[in-house]
Homo-oligomer: A and B are copies of this chain.
Amino acid sequence: MKKTLATLVLVSFAGAAMAQQALKPEEMIKYRKAAMNFMGWNMGKIKANLDGTFNAEQTLAAANAIAATANSGLGALHGPGSDKDVGGEKTRLKSEYFQNQDKVREVAMNFNKEANELAKVAAAGDKAAIQAQFGKTGASCKACHDNFRN
């Protein structure tokens, strides 16, 4: 079965239909913050490599971690009720997330595309190309934050 990138992304981020786990809203918040912080650490590593001594192997490992996180089905961590602080977990997710699914799909698909491209470019090892794609990936993170994070 051939699937387009768009289909894969819809399933992996914007949709939660595949989720086998029954997660409480507080678990969604906990795990998605873990995913975001984990990506933040890896983005920081790539930035440090671009700004300082460039280590291609560390940069690739970080890019692979970001892409695998993007591909891990983060949509399942953005279910109903997870836009409110609950069960000791605090969240910055705006309720608009549930009211504008077209925009969610747009920013999610773009993020997945840029993150996977970053891993591809990092595997090739050209620092200037990585720098350019790192910028695009960061912008795709920011697009979601600007729209859906308080």
Contacts and interface: CB of A to CB of B under 8 A. Distances in A.
A68 interface: yes
A25 to B, nearest CB: 14
A64 interface: yes
Contact of A68 (B37, B49, B65): B65
Contacts of A33: 34
Given A20-B55, A34-B41, A61 B65 contact: no
Interface stretch (A69-77, A97-105, A121-129, A135-143): A69-77
A97 to B, nearest CB: 19
Secondary structure call for the A interface: helix
Contacts of A41: 31, 34-35, 77
A133 interface: no
A40 B77 CA distance: 13
Contacts of A65: 68-69, 71-72
Interface string A33-52: 11111101110110011001
Contacts of A49: 20
The 5 A-B pairs with the shortest beta carbon distances in the complex, nearest first, are: A34-B37, A68-B68, A20-B48, A31-B41, A65-B72
Interface of A: 12, 18-21, 30-31, 33-38, 40-42, 44-45, 48-49, 52-53, 55, 57-58, 61-62, 64-65, 67-69, 71-73, 77
